[in-house]
Each structure stands twice: as C-alpha cells, then as structure tokens.
Chain A
C-alpha cells in the first residue's frame, strides 16, 4: 500500500490539475476570438426578412449581443468558471442539460471502444513482434495499414451496407429500439443496447486498433533487443517465459502513454461516427452547435472536451508512474 501512496505523485497530480485552468481559459478564449472575428452575428439565424427591427433588438438584448465584445468575454468567463454555461441558442434549454444528456452516450461509446481495441491491438502487435518478418507479421502489418488508412465514416457506411442492409443482422442507426425499448425487461434492454453499440464501436475502433498493434510491435521489437532479454535467454529460460514475463511486461509500459494520447483521437473519431449512426452524443451535439452558431453550447462542448482529455492524460501519467517505479516527479 505504501507503494501506492507517494507524496511526489500527489504533488504532481495537484500541479497538473491546476494547470488545467489556464488550459481551459486558453481554449475558451480561442473559441471566443474565432466567433468574434467571423462574419455575421449569432442572431442572424433567428431572423428573416419579415422580422421587425424591434424583435431583432430584443433578441440582441436577450443574447447580450448589444454589449461590447470584451464585456461579453469577461461575463462569459465569469459564468463559465462557475459552471454556468447559460441557455443554448438552438436547443431551447440550458446548455448544461443538453451536455448532461449527450455526454454519457459519448463516454459509453468511447469507453467500450477503448476497452475493446486495446486488448485486440496488443495481442496482434505481440504476435507481430514475436514473429518478426514471418508471413503472419507481414499479413497483419498490411491489413492494419489498410484499416489505418480507411476513413471511419466510410467504414461505417460499409458496415451499414453489409450488416444492416444486406445481412440485416444489426440495426442501421440509433442507440436503442425506437418502439419497444420502453417495454423491455432489463436483460432484453441490455442486449438491445449492445446490438446498437457494435457497428459504431467497430467503425470507431478498427483504425485505432491498427495503430495500437503497430505501436505495440515496435515497442516489443525495441525491448527484445535489450540486454536483459539476452540475459534471460542466456540463463536458459524457456522462450515463452522470456517473452511473457520479461519482454511483454516491459513493452506494455509505453502503451500506457499511448492510451492517454488516444482520448483526443477517439473524441475526434466520435464526431464522424456519431453523425453517421445518428448516435446522440457529444460529437453530434458539437456538429449541431457549429451549424447553428450556438456560441454558449459550442463553448460548453469545448470546455467538456478539454476537461475530459486533460484528466485522461493526468490519469495515464499517474498510472504510468505507479507501474513503473523508475518514474519520479520530485526532481
């Protein structure tokens, strides 16, 4: 237990957590500046040629667009720091409610995807590393390059075509059965949800699993060249023990870092996949926010993304330090 509690880790975590604040300010400022310099005003979407100037002025006051930019910036900063994102312009409800509805769906999809692709990628990468240069290595290399180069939305459409349209095994889009979901028992509902998760998960994960395999292969090859592997072989350990106990365990270390880097990539991927599968998640929300120039919603989306990504990377740093005692943060 004493190994789990380390003072330097705690301090590091605290410092890193505090660093999130300037990061958030930076991101929100960036988005605000972008919105300000773009042509047109957010109010334009509510008005047409029949709108009277009075209505327009009232809308401007309602969204505080009559105030100068720096005042709006400061007001918005103050509100955002108190987690008050205001009302959404396009959703007709508080931004917070919209985020609360959509965020869990994205987290569900991305966590299930991440939890499946890592084991698959690690096993494939290990196979390649152990059989370097053999046909199995070349085969996996080529097919992972193929999937790595594939646009996720195209794969999504192909899956819809094959499994949804021709084989009719899986539902084409949505998150659960639109009609009968309300009347299902718990286990039925679980399997229903699972059925709707398969295709978005595969579309999002395949390219990433290919990346994981590629990385694991090179990591394992790097480790196998080390002296301690030669020592392990020299003292007569069976090859299986050398690979499993000595090589793989050390090759897994850099993979933890990769996991932290995966989070932004998975979120990026979720935008296209959620859009294709009509999955009600953050990716779709952000596309809608961009289409309708919904400033408060857009800023809240970026706030959430930054927060999730930063704490994800903090968590990976800590896990890395826990499993690799050579890492110290107090120097």
Chain B
C-alpha cells in the first residue's frame, strides 16, 4: 500500500476569484495566460450570442410554421452547457483539486501537463474550440438567413445599411445577391468544418484498418496494399479528387454526402502507412508475443492490442489532415465542382466573389476563416505531437 501523497494541480491564488466575474480572467492573472485567453474567447462567444440571439429567441427556436427547430434548440442547449463549463473551470482555479500520487502520474495527467506547457497546442485548441462553438452557436449569432436574397442591397460594403426601413449593421457586407456575408460565412463554416471532421474520420477508419492488415499479415497482401497506396500517393491528390467528383455526378444534399465520402476515400493513404510501420514494430514486442502465447485470436490481437497502441501518431496526423481536407473542399467548391449552390461553404463563398473584385469583402472574409481554421488545426496537431512524443515524457 503506497502512501497517498497529495499533489496540487496549481497553487490557489486570490486573483483566481476574478474568474467568477468573467471566466478566463482568473487564469489570465494567475500564471496561465493562454488558458485565460482560451476561456475568454469562449466567454466572448457566449456573450455575443446572448446579445444577438436572446432578443429574437422565439424566431431562433421556432420555424415560421411554429415547429421547434432542431438547430436552434441544439445551439440554445449548447449555450447553457458552455456557460456551466466555463464557470466550472473558473471555480476549479479558485479551489484546485488535490491529486493522489497515482492520479498525478497517470498518463492522462502527464499528457495534460505536457499539453498545457505547449504554446502552439494551446493556441491551436483555443482556435479549434472557438470555431466549433461559433458553428454550433450560429443560429443565435447569425443576424440574417444565409439564403435570403435582397437584390436592392447587392454587394454593399461592411457597415450600417437600411433594410426595409430599419438600420442593420452588416459586419462583412453583402454578396452580389444581397445575402448577408457574415451569416453566410457562419453557416458556411458549419458545412466546411463538418465535412472536414467526417471525412477525416472516414479516412482514419480506412487507413487504420488497411495499415493494420498490411502490417500484421505481411507477405503478398502487404505488397499489394502498399502498391495500391503508392499508386494513389503518386497521383496529384487534388487532380484525382477532381476527377472522381467530376465523373460521379450528383446534386443538392447528395453532393455534400458524396464529397465527404470521396474526401475520406482519397485521404487514407498517409494514415495506413503510419499504422503499418507502427504495427510492424509493435508486433515484435513482448506484449504481443504474450498475447499470442495466451492463444488470443488474430482479430483480438489486432483490434485490442495493436491498434490502440498505434493510435497516437494517427491522432496527430488526423488533426494535421483536417486542415488539408478543409483546403481541398474549398478548392473543389472554388472550381464549381464542390457543394452545389445555394448552400454556402467557405469555398463557394470565395468562388462567389471571384468575379466581383470591385467588392473584395465578399472574398476576403471567407478566406480569412479558412486560414484561421487550417492554422488552428495545424497548431493543434503540432502541439499534440509534442505532447504525445515519448521522448519528452517524464520531464
């Protein structure tokens, strides 16, 4: 029986009480400025959506026919959960938890400490969660319907404009058809980010299975699979993507589904290479020999012992790959082969404005959102890699 030693996560400082006023302030002034900014950015979203959404909460929650709208309900529920979470984090800063030695030395605690020290990782996760909250809270924040045309207000610059006798502030101006660019960027972000997330999960699933099979069974199966991987990798990825999307035609919501699937099916090769090399080195290790000696089936060895141990680099790769997938989807939509209009994604929004360089705000803002999303995912991936790298462990 080991003696239970109490470890504090961090000392309790009086300035932490500021967090109850506004989550994030407490962290900001007690030595965790990055975490502070992270919480502050979330708190900022919380307040923006309250100011913009609560006065017209009825139209957010109910459609014009009086039905409850799922998007509105989800975003209101998320608003409440986010508020609870933020104040819980602020309260925990005031009264830190005591940890036992085992808890302090657990993999999870080590990972969290490593990640907490990692500047790029923290900025990345702050950016990613900011965009995630922004997309979920979109129905509360977005001032207009993204697809309502108003041809009398086509391509007006950002600022105050009169719509039907009322003054409205157009944060990002309007596009050539008079649709509010800010609302379109917010709603477009939902599609772009969800496409990235689902496509990367598809790619990871395929890549992990194929890599594990190739690495575990070896021989001719390995050679054929890796030849196929090399074949796909040697083609310019965007060109292949274009060809598939262009050849297999679809329209409307089916098109989004198709693009997600195709992005997933053309993005798994990197994952499968990583998993294969991991499995090749893992399967010679003692714990796999032990599993064999215990008479476990191949399937159980692969899924319960090999894959879980090979996952860390896959997670890093995936968070780096989401950025690439977001860029690929934007490129497809820019060429007019992606998501079909009027559905907005960041790529189609840039495409919409490319003929209207006299109204540059149509192009500039969606582009900035693409950059910030891709940058956040890249920073997060770099941070995860540093935190998961065993060479840095135990410091």
Contacts and interface: CB of A to CB of B under 8 A. Distances in A.
Given A146-B371, A276-B354, A154 B363 contact: yes
Nearest to B354: A157
A35 B239 contact: no
B323 A157 contact: no
A145 B378 contact: yes
A272 interface: yes
Interface in B240-288: 242-244, 246-249
Contacts of B173: none
B281 to A, nearest CB: 20
A302 B379 contact: no
A10 interface: no
B364 to A, nearest CB: 8
A148 B335 contact: no
A149 B378 contact: yes
Interface string B306-336: 0000000000000000010001001100110
Interface extent on A, as a size class?
A: 35 or more
B234 A165 contact: no
A110 to B, nearest CB: 11
B236 A154 contact: no
A290 B242 contact: yes
Contact of B231 (A26, A145, A148, A151): A26
Interface stretch (A46-54, A303-311, A316-324): A303-311
Main secondary structure of the interface of A (DSSP, over half): helix
A264 B236 contact: yes
A179 B47 CA distance: 57
B238 to A, nearest CB: 4
Interface string B211-255: 000000000000000001001011111110011101111000000
Contact of A291 (B238, B246, B327, B357): B246
A160 B370 contact: no
A241 interface: no
Nearest to B336: A291
A310 B230 CA distance: 11
B243 A149 contact: no
Interface string A149-162: 11111100110110
Contact of B236 (A38, A39, A305): A305
A279 interface: no
B239 A286 contact: yes
A267 B239 contact: yes
A151 B239 contact: no
Nearest to A298: B243
A309 to B, nearest CB: 5
B375 interface: yes
A271 interface: yes
Contact of A265 (B236, B367, B371): B236
Contact of B378 (A30, A148, A313): A148
Nearest to B374: A149
B263 to A, nearest CB: 14
A40 B367 contact: no
A152 B379 CA distance: 19
Residue among B233, B237, B247, B248 with the highest chain A CB neighbour number at 10 A: B247
A23 B230 CA distance: 9
Interface string A125-155: 0000000000000000000011011111110
Given A34-B247, A271-B242, A293-B246, 20 more contacts: A26-B231, A37-B248, A148-B378, A149-B370, A149-B374, A149-B375, A150-B370, A153-B334, A153-B354, A154-B350, A157-B350, A157-B357, A271-B239, A275-B335, A276-B354, A286-B242, A298-B243, A301-B239, A302-B239, A306-B235
- Sorted from nearest, which 5 A-B pairs have the closest CB atoms? A290-B246, A149-B374, A268-B238, A154-B367, A267-B236
Interface of B: 228, 231, 233-239, 242-244, 246-249, 323, 327, 330-331, 334-335, 337, 347, 350, 353-354, 357, 360, 363-364, 367, 370-371, 374-375, 378-379
17 contacts: A27-B231, A30-B231, A34-B244, A39-B248, A150-B374, A154-B350, A154-B367, A157-B367, A161-B357, A161-B363, A264-B235, A268-B237, A268-B239, A272-B334, A283-B239, A290-B247, A305-B235
